[in-house]
Amino acid sequence: MNRFAYSPYSLELGRQLMEIPSQLYHHKRRAQPLPQPEKHRFGSSWRQYLLLWAPLPGTPERKSVMVLYHGGGWHTGWPGLNPTVIDFFLQQGFPVVMPAYRLAPWFVHRHMREDINLALVKTLDILQKKGLAHKKLLLSGISAGATLAAHLAFNRDELAQMGVTQDFFSGFLSIGGPLDLDRMPHFGAVRGYAGDHPGSALFTAANPCSWLCEQEQLPVLLLHGTTDAIVPYSCSESFAARYTGPLRFHTLPGVSHLRSLRFATDDIAAADVVREWLEDK
């Protein structure tokens, strides 16, 4: 055996990792200037804050506030990382909240869970003070951020401890999300996020699929590229197979990981799917 040979998967993974700078540049180049957001803190750590963008003037009023979690493999990223995606939702009339969260390797899932709980309570408090308590929250996430948004949406035990139910939410949107960690490659980033190895209690608790019930009711939209090598398509496919509630699973044929964000720039067909799903929210 040639010990220097690479599998087709390894080559594709390497290609998509190398694609990240050019894809980020694409979105930076296509981005419109965003309004200045409000910044609110929900803890003492410098990563415990959220940004809030008001809806754009002249856009239709929505029944929900978009809560969007950034990606970055649970190890990097920040609110505002994807300005074209923020702008897309602002253009649809949504206020947008983007929470930060503490990152691996210094922090693991249980710390990130604390942060999304604190951010939820802070968001509800802000909406109350602004006279927007009647609005629901539309939970969404990009890549690793979709994992956290899914935990917020489907872990009813944590919600109950905060006195919150799923009735507070109007939907869940995942963009290239690792929604079933058992389908992820054996990346150190996944173990670093979960805080333990696959099969352990901590890993199971960190897997969004673990928290799905037999009868789900929250509307869900999944976007995922079929050739995604960073977060395999099977992660969303497995989640969709287990999900019993209202679901739209939009497959992006031949699309790599970061190209799943192009609905916000030049993927017109995917943009139409997202807009249609958002119509009643």
pLDDT digits (tens, 9 = 90+) for 31-79: 888 999 999 999 999 999 999 999 999 999 999 999 999 999 999 999 9
Distance between CA atoms of 145 and 64, rounded to whole angstroms?
19
- With a threshold of 0.75, does the pTM exceed it? yes
Quote the pLDDT of residue 12. Answer: 85
Distance between CA atoms of 245 and 266, rounded to whole angstroms?
30
Domain boundaries defined on the chain: 8-278
Q: How is domain 8-278 classified at the architecture level of CATH?
A: 3-Layer(aba) Sandwich (3.40)
* 218-251: pLDDT as tens digits: 999 999 999 999 999 999 999 999 999 999 999 9
- Whether 250 and 223 have beta carbons less than 8 Å apart is answered as yes
Distance between CA atoms of 198 and 138, rounded to whole angstroms?
30
* 255-281: pLDDT as tens digits: 999 999 999 999 999 999 999 999 999
Quote the pLDDT of residue 6. Answer: 56
Summarize the confidence of residues 162-170 as an average pLDDT: 96
Residues 6+ apart with CB under 8 A from 177: 141, 142, 143, 144, 145, 146, 147, 149, 150, 222, 224, 231, 235, 236
* 100-135: pLDDT as tens digits: 999 999 999 999 999 999 999 999 999 999 999 999
Task: Kindly indicate the confidence band of residue 1, based on its pLDDT and cuts at 50, 70 and 90.
Answer: very low
Q: For strand 96-99 and strand 49-53, is the pairing parallel, antiparallel, or unpaired?
A: antiparallel
- Select the more confidently predicted residue: 3 or 148: 148
Quote the pLDDT of residue 4. Answer: 39
- Whether 162 and 121 have beta carbons less than 8 Å apart is answered as yes
Quote the pLDDT of residue 179. Answer: 98
